[in-house]
Amino acid sequence: MEKIKMTTPLVEMDGDEMTRILWKLIKDELLSPYIELNTEYYDLGLEYRNETNDQVTIDSAEAAKRYGVAVKCATITPNAARMTEYNLKEMYKSPNGTIRAMLDGTVFRAPIIVKGIEPYVKNWTKPITIARHAYGDVYKASEMKVSAPGKAELVFTDENGKETRELIHNFKGAGVLQGMHNLECSIESFAKSCFNFALETRQDLWFATKDTISKKYDHTFKDIFQEIFDNEYKEKFADAGIKYFYTLIDDAVARVMRSEGGYIWACKNYDGDVMSDMVATAFGSLSMMTSVLVSPDGCYEFEAAHGTVQRHYYKHLKGEETSTNPIATIYAWTGALRKRGELDNIPELAGFADLLERACIKTIEDGKMTKDLALITSIENPVTLNTQDFIKAVRETLEGLM
Ligand code: NAP
Ligand code: MG
């Protein structure tokens, strides 16, 4: 078979630890034999980030903006322990945070559904994709404890020194206070990323806030979404046969639990933080969760939702066998290759991505899986494979499907 050719480079962001090992295995076993991979490679492994004072992360994000599609391996976010372990010059910021800020993007997380790994919520037969607004609110708040009676106010001072005040509370005794904000431009970017991604994946979009209680703050989110929808997306949604649906957050939670899935749930920052862990856990496994960063102007960065699987890496370094699940990392590649195929009009590339995903699912449904899934599957007598053998098994299934 002739290898599939690519016309535009895919931005490849390599990473750390066990996922870096998976990265190479996936390329060698599942991609390079079938595709003439055309990537612009950036090494976001912590050593090279340190060597370049993190410039490589910035360069990779610039490249993602230039070419429109990137695939990223999980990376270490440095903490005190990593400072010593890697002898770092500085405690660099999370690469994901840096890239997200540069692309002004929203992260969409969706579970990969296979028979035999049953969601805890039995009616969830289709994936629920969570989109979390990643700016502001309680994550950029100022807080205060007060210990005596007194008056608390919100004060806004404009550039001319004019003050606007709003009473928060007349304290009769001790208490706590919080001031938070958000930006219209950030909410707009969030809304556009969500509408675009809904069109892209042909799924309904749900959004919820507490606008009945928060009549200015949350209501602004509701209004911005509605305005952008009415002005820019209403017809496109109708043409695509999908809906935009707004409701109150408590009503949304009730509906989500009763639903069969198959939609995108846009969440404010805190709601997204909480709900994404709930939805991910209920679908079964972090190792089966995909993640894509979408910018409002249509750049895509695909990755796995999990980290670098450090514990497995240390076993690997000691020469011990590992059984690390590569599915989410494979899906990062298939997501990126499919997108590249669509943008460059290379149907074989998008077709290959579909086929490789089918091979992943079929391998698991045939009873061959990594340990994390073997522990929770409802399939009887699953065969637990190590990291390398599982990837080989996917390759065999893929060859069978070709
Ligand atoms: P993690 O890498 O997600 O792993 C936590 C645990 O979840 C693992 O020890 C493993 O459990 C299980 N697990 C996760 N992915 C798995 C897979 N593919 N196959 C099998 N089991 C899997 O989180 P972490 O250990 O807390 O973080 C490690 C590093 O990742 C940190 O340095 C952190 O900064 C980084 N991180 C990066 C990203 C990113 O780049 N997107 C995201 C999160 C964390 P068992 O050990 O019980 O088998
Ligand atoms: Mg969280």
- Confidence grade of residue 3 (pLDDT, cut at 50, 70, 90): very high
54-64 confidence digits (pLDDT tens): 999 999 999 99
| Residue from 17, 301, 306, 331 whose mutation best tests the ligand 1 pocket (most atoms within 8 A of CB) | 306
Name the closest ligand to CA 267: 2
Say which residue the tokens 């296979």 belong to: 114
Which residue lies with its CA nearest to atom 38 of ligand 1? 307
Q: Which of 299, 326, 253 is nearest to 21 (CA)?
A: 326
What's the CA-to-centroid distance between 401 and ligand 1, angstroms?
31
pLDDT digits (tens, 9 = 90+) for 379-395: 999 999 999 999 999 99
Output the CA 391–ligand 1 centroid distance in Å: 19
Question: What's the pLDDT tens digit per position in 182-229?
Answer: 999 999 999 999 999 999 999 999 999 999 999 999 999 999 999 999
Nearest CA to ligand 1 atom 42: 307
SS3 235: helix
* Parallel/antiparallel/unpaired status of strands 128-132 and 106-111: antiparallel
Lowest mean pLDDT among 3-7, 132-136, 323-327, 349-353: 132-136
Element housing 208 (H / E)? strand 204-209
d(CA 387, CA 202): 34
- Give me ligand 2 centre to Cα 361, in Å: 28
- β-bridge mates for residue 247, sequence order: 208
Contacts of 399 (CB under 8 A, 6+ apart): none
User: ∠ CA 168-210-296 to the nearest 5 degrees?
Assistant: 110
**382: CA distance to ligand 2 center in Å?**
32
Atom 6 in ligand 1: which residue has the minimum CA distance?
Answer: 309
Q: Calculate the alpha carbon distances from 42 to 11, 48, 61, 63, 70 in Å.
A: 8, 9, 10, 9, 10
CA of 306 to the centre of ligand 2 (A): 12
- 29 has which bridge partners? none
Q: Where are the alpha helices (DSSP H) in 44-150?
A: 46-51, 55-67, 80-85, 95-103
Question: How large is the angle between the packed helices 310-317 and 17-26, nearest 10 degrees?
Answer: 80
The preferred substitution site among 132, 308, 316, 390 for testing ligand 1, maximizing ligand atoms within 8 Å of CB, is 308
Q: Which residue has the tokens 């399939």?
A: 379
Place of tokens 């995108």: 264
Residue whose tokens read 């590339």: 349
- What Å distances lie between residue 326 and 77, 151, 288, 370, CA to CA? 20, 56, 9, 9
Mean pLDDT of the 326-342 span: 97
Confidence category of residue 375, pLDDT binned at 50, 70, 90: very high
Both tokens assigned to 337:
């290759």
